Amino acid sequence: FLTFAAIGVGGLVVDMAALWLALNALALGPYEGRVLSYLCAATFTWWLNREFTFTGVSRRGAMRQWGRFLAANAVGAAVNYTVYVAVLTLAPHVLPDLPPGLTALVPYAGVAAGSIAGLVFNFTLSRLVVFKAG
């Protein structure tokens, strides 16, 4: 679990960087940008978990395994995205006097909160469905 969580921290960095690119370089909205950033982070974490966390599994069928990873982690992704949307929606009401510089950080706080919320779902389903031994 610790390796999975550590890789998740790397995925969080990838997620936030991809969200920044989506918002600033691609001019996507925060919701569309989040879908793109999640897919980038999920791909990153799948690959590292394949290499370091679940080392006893077959190395064949990488694309099929990646698809299973995304499908199995769909529950965690839904939790993740729901928490992200909640943070974006509630932040202006909960913190109405937030300075503009900090307001720009709200989407990244949403990414962090969503990632934490989805962690347990993703680990459990990855262990039981995607990277099961044998």
3-state secondary structure of 104: coil
* In the predicted structure, residue 134 carries a pLDDT above the cut 70: no
pLDDT digits (tens, 9 = 90+) for 58-109: 777 889 889 988 888 888 899 999 999 999 999 999 999 989 889 999 999 9
pTM: 0.83
Could you tell me if 54 and 131 are in contact, meaning their C-beta atoms sit under 8 angstroms apart?
A: yes
CA 77, CA 80: separation in Å to the nearest integer? 5
Average pLDDT over residues 105-126: 90
pLDDT in tens, 28-57: 999 999 999 999 999 999 999 888 988 777
Report yes or no: 101 and 82 within 8 Å, Cβ to Cβ. Answer: no
Residues 6+ apart with CB under 8 A from 110: 34, 83, 84, 85, 86, 87, 88, 91
Closest CA to 77 of 108, 43, 106: 43
Q: Residue 86, Cβ neighbours under 10 Å: how many? A: 14
User: Hey, is 24 helix, strand or coil?
Assistant: helix
Higher pLDDT, 133 or 61: 61
Q: Which residues in 36-66 are b (16+ Cβ under 10 Å) and which e?
A: bbbebbbbbbbebbbeebbeeeeeeeeeebb
